[in-house]
Amino acid sequence: MTTKCIACGMPMTNSADHANNDTATAYCTHCARPDGSMKSHDEVLDGMAAFMVQTQGIDKSAARQMARQAIKNLPAWSAH
């Protein structure tokens, strides 16, 4: 079963996609700190923007704006 990360929206199709390989965790490995806790809004935003710059060659400012739009309605940030 595929679920989506509550922090970035990434599809999680197997345990390796989940933080600490724990399918009970609602966020992905990219949104987790080494200790398994979820990264902050700014950390997720920065990581997503950096990924867009690296993989799509998007300007850093534009990537940050696109990342902000992509995560603004996700469950982890409903109070943000």
**pTM of the prediction?**
0.89
**Greatest CA span in the chain, whole angstroms?**
36
Res 42 pLDDT > 90: yes
Looking at residue 14, its pLDDT comes to: 94
Contact in structure between 52 and 58 (CB atoms under 8 Å): yes
Tell me the pLDDT band of 1, cut-offs 50, 70 and 90: low
Contact in structure between 67 and 48 (CB atoms under 8 Å): yes
Domain-wise residue ranges, the chain? 3-77
